[in-house]
Structure 1
């Protein structure tokens, strides 16, 4: 039996468009002799549909679309489609009204429905808000082959692999007990770097443990802050990978199930990425392309400061949308250095993108004059510095509004973590492209981009970091060196280490305490930030749920007998540049 994976890129809520993508894949598969076609989790509506699922008319339209799709599919082809099903017993047992389901379509009919059993509620997932968990092991028989059906999270509870159980049941073990010949998994698994290696290692363990071939079909594409990398694959009973789809693009690939040996045969294997930087680059490019396309933008605008953050965002944008669809705006102030302008123009020339220059000196004077009486007798400080950033933010928003462009915010994760950014200034935008990319990774990505020829001007990679909001300003006036800051943030945000643990790892206690407090006090800024593309397992997006008004200070509780100095609150434009290595 030939089985194919339709690795499609759905648009959330576009029921007719998504059905058409499934139909086109089915027609191609049928012409190639495929008997069974797999599509991703919730492929008919796109994942995650979030509160669209609370709209009864949306659910009804999905059911109608599914029935119409069944009528249109080629004969002699069975197709598994991700959809939702009504929980007819919800009024009896008080459960949720919907199941996250897979429908088996064949011969113009909806023949069976299989319900997701494990519903994740961590990080970006909140499936118990919408779905009731399925209670039974799911399988069907096609041409004398028993095929077990699982949905995404159903794979992620092998207690032997993880050393623990997160749920009371293991759907893979249940299917193995039933004696199925093959297990398929229909997924919409969001990307984080390094996750594919974990998926393959985990499924290899399950395939070998239960002596069952497994086919994993994953969604691809960007949906809001989430990026789905595709890279669907299949393993034989020995845990060897028999096929692998391409990453970060749609694909359709087939694998043969040999009925004689009850196992999968070797098929196409897409190449793996050579480095984390290459993988992250592909993810960010896809994220920008799909966010713009699915929000119906064809052109983008961003501020070009001459620093590395805006340089990386410009490079990503041109790769995603084409150089002709990206506008970089230089907005020099009296404090801007000559190299800021020359570096920004050199970058634009390397990328082939358009630029405009809008000096802001006169606008700054206008603000100074308007505020002169109110600010009389005070010293120049953060308020005046931030006016510069907000002038720039207003200019960029004006361009975006006038011409219908998407404004890209250029702040990185390190700055977002500690609040080294300005509300209604450099934080303005419809998409924060590198909001989940630490500063040190920004440099790594730029160096990777320059591996064959110079794209990011060398001076951008080597000059000291500065927001250039006052004479002689550098980032390290307010922040630790980025290699120190990023390690502290990694331990704090990703590994949930305490202040004492971070200090024990070799960091200065005063720096650690100050960073922890800055992270906590910047929460109100992050809550107002544009969506940021998620590439790590702990991003400041839909999976980050911290209170703004809170009296919990980690360092105070870690060192209850010490007096913790109040940090200088930083609220600057914080554009880019490379930290000096001390």
Structure 2
């Protein structure tokens, strides 16, 4: 059997655009004499649709499109398409199998995840059964994303009471098919391959895994669809962070020596894709970055150029009385190296006017209020340019700062998208070194000088924060690994330091709730996957 794999990048709710992409892939598969084509989970409307799934106009449009545009194209090819299915006031997350001009078979998603970024029990009703389907003399076991993530032998536990794959395997299936929208975090591809390898060997079945690619809001989907032999070897693996298409013959599967080295380049590619899709899918064409001459804004600008092209990125440098000559030189040099438009807008006059209005006798206190005022002046300037000239502002704060609240509401937190908000500071430096791997794009001094907000004389981040090489592992232990204070201390960290860091993280939720969406590249990002209350206290 010749199977086409269509790893596509859908836009949420763009039914017409997604259908054009789907139909073009069906036509291509037909031209290559494929017997079957497989698309990712919910690919007709994109994943995750969230409450858009309740829109009944959309529901009717989906039903009409499936009947009039997909079914008629299935007379001479099987089509497995991810789509919501509306029935008796219930909504199912379904794999719809069209063949011979009609809906030939339907398999609903059985396991509905309700953790981290997932909220599927809010929307969908689970499948009532798991039944194989005979096609071209092959018995196919069709599953949807989470349905393959519950193997008790691999995880040494079961999240769910039932295992759809176990049910299907007991019915003598020949091939496991999984259509998926599996969001990326660093290490996810390697984990997924390892898990699928275990499943292939356990059940002695070939696996065809088709994953969505693209950025949808905070989530980035890596693609990396694959075909796996019964022994767990890879017959084919799709591109990561790009659309892909292939036709494979299940009777002639090769055994490729494929290895995945999920290094810093994967985070780079993920963020570039996340920026590009967020900007384009929200209707913008160009982005603005407030350059400071520091590491965070430099990395953000580099990612923006890689995503959108240098002609679509604007850098703004806004010096104050506390800005160093070195920062001015470094910001300009970065812009020159990237080839982007660069503007300098000093804030001294505006800042002095505020001081004159707000401070008695024009006295300068150099307190937090004045530091934050400078950041907020800059936020106003970049939003003015955004409004007037149509740029999407990219926020430049990192995960360490967001965790500790070392950021200013309506100041440096201003923006439509937080590009590196899920990167701890130490990882920002690693990404900067990767960006400079072939030539110096980010000035070398930016990587060497102590990080500073430059909001008062001789200011350094470490005046307010622990050293990042100490802080970042504590934040990871608390946020990503979900360790208790006591468990983190046992790792060898000072007890007072750990308690202070955790207290700061807990108390800064009100700031993070007002931050722009954060592109997710670790196992636990601030935002949709970490739903903490704002008005609470640690008192136990």
The answer to whether 1:133 aligns with 2:126 is yes
Instruction: State how far apart, in whole Å, the 2-side matches of 1:80 and 1:332 are.
Output: 56
> What is the match of residue 335 of structure 1?
322
- Which of 177, 199, 209 aligns to 2:170? It is 177
The answer to whether 1:501 aligns with 2:494 is no
> What is the match of residue 146 of structure 2?
153
Q: CA deviation at 1:107?
A: 2.6
Instruction: State how far apart, in whole Å, the 2-side matches of 1:220 and 1:267 are.
Output: 25
CA offset digits 1:403-434 (Å, max 9, x no partner): 11100000000000110000000000000000
> What is the match of residue 206 of structure 1?
199
Instruction: State how far apart, in whole Å, the 2-side matches of 1:411 and 1:382 are.
Output: 18
Instruction: Note the residue ranges of structure 2 that are not aligned, 5 or more in a row.
Output: none
- Which of 327, 332, 345 aligns to 1:345? It is 332
CA offset digits 1:453-492 (Å, max 9, x no partner): 1111100000011111000110001000001000100111
The answer to whether 1:288 aligns with 2:275 is yes
Distance 1:307 1:509, change over 3 A: same
Q: CA deviation at 1:152?
A: 0.2
Q: CA deviation at 1:275?
A: 4.8
Instruction: State how far apart, in whole Å, the 2-side matches of 1:110 and 1:75 are.
Output: 11
Contact 1:364 1:388 in 2 (8 A): yes
CA offset digits 1:498-551 (Å, max 9, x no partner): 222212211111211111111011100000000010001100121110011002
Q: CA deviation at 1:267?
A: 7.8
Q: What does residue range 72-221 of structure 1 map to in structure 2 within 5 Å?
A: 72-73=72-73, 75-88=75-88, 97-221=90-214
Q: CA deviation at 1:72?
A: 4.8
How many aligned positions are there?
540
Instruction: State how far apart, in whole Å, the 1-side matches of 2:233 and 2:143 are.
Output: 20
Instruction: State how far apart, in whole Å, the 2-side matches of 1:384 and 1:72 are.
Output: 66
Q: Secondary structure at the match of 1:148?
A: strand
Instruction: State how far apart, in whole Å, the 2-side matches of 1:274 and 1:340 are.
Output: 35
Q: CA deviation at 1:268?
A: 7.9
- Backbone CA RMSD of aligned residues: 1.5
> What is the match of residue 300 of structure 1?
287
The answer to whether 1:511 aligns with 2:475 is no
> What is the match of residue 415 of structure 1?
401
Q: TM-score, normalized by length of structure 2? A: 0.98
Instruction: State how far apart, in whole Å, the 1-side matches of 2:308 and 2:104 are.
Output: 42
Q: Secondary structure at the match of 2:408?
A: coil
> What is the match of residue 461 of structure 2?
475
Instruction: State how far apart, in whole Å, the 2-side matches of 1:315 and 1:505 are.
Output: 36
> What is the match of residue 217 of structure 2?
224
> What is the match of residue 246 of structure 1?
239
Superposed structure 1 runs of 4+ greater than 3 Å apart: 271-275, 375-380
> What is the match of residue 366 of structure 1?
353
The answer to whether 1:12 aligns with 2:12 is yes
| Stretch moving more, 271-280 or 181-190 | 271-280
Q: Secondary structure at the match of 1:132?
A: coil
Instruction: State how far apart, in whole Å, the 2-side matches of 1:303 and 1:5 are.
Output: 41
Q: CA deviation at 1:138?
A: 3.3
Distance 1:272 1:422, change over 3 A: farther
- Which of 231, 250, 253 aligns to 1:265? It is 253
The answer to whether 1:58 aligns with 2:58 is yes
Instruction: State how far apart, in whole Å, the 1-side matches of 2:446 and 2:137 are.
Output: 63
Instruction: State how far apart, in whole Å, the 1-side matches of 2:300 and 2:44 are.
Output: 32
Distance 1:420 1:295, change over 3 A: same
Q: TM-score, normalized by length of structure 1? A: 0.91
- Which of 431, 438, 448 aligns to 2:417? It is 431
